């Protein structure tokens, strides 16, 4: 109980400090803030997993930080977080030095994001179904369905 309370308080303070440029530029303070983000994410908080996953993916140093960011984003995506699911779809379609581009996995995560209300994810699913990709045959009916969903969401 005390551990969760301490993690919640540290995360709250860190998120407030994150918006202050001087705080982010202080190496020791930034290291402490990252520790608070990691602690809250490790406790299974979906918002913290999404937030810290994005930080590690885009600002982390080294391949290990990027991989950990993707892992956290996958956890948040599977829990229904739209932004994380969209980003995991982007990473899946792009591939990396260790994995080949995977259109099927990208569609899986973009469908999760679209179901959570992410209009660009619905458009990307429609585009992939319209064009087809390796391992993903073209499907005009699915493409039209997701294009309509994107239109309904305002895209």
- The pTM of this model reads 0.92
The span from the CA of 97 to the CA of 70, in Å, is 14
pLDDT in tens, 94-145: 988 888 999 999 999 999 999 999 999 999 999 999 998 888 898 999 999 9
Q: State the maximum Cα–Cα separation within the chain, in Å, rounded to a whole number.
A: 54
pLDDT in tens, 20-50: 999 999 999 999 999 999 999 999 999 999 9
């Amino acid at each position: 109980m005390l551990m969760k309370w301490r993690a919640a308080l540290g995360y709250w303070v860190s998120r407030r400090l994150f918006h202050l440029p001087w705080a982010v530029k202080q190496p020791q303070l930034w290291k402490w803030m990252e520790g608070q983000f990691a602690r809250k994410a490790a406790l299974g908080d979906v918002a913290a997993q999404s937030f810290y996953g994005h930080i590690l993916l885009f600002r982390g140093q080294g391949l290990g930080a990027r991989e950990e960011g993707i892992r956290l984003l996958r956890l948040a995506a599977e829990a229904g977080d739209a932004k994380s699911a969209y980003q995991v779809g982007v990473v899946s379609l792009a591939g990396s030095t260790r994995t080949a581009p995977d259109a099927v996995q990208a569609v899986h995560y973009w469908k999760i994001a679209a179901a959570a209300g992410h209009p660009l994810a619905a458009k990307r699913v429609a585009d992939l179904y319209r064009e087809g990709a390796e391992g993903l045959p073209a499907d005009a009916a699915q493409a039209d369905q997701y294009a309509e969903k994107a239109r309904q969401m305002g895209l």
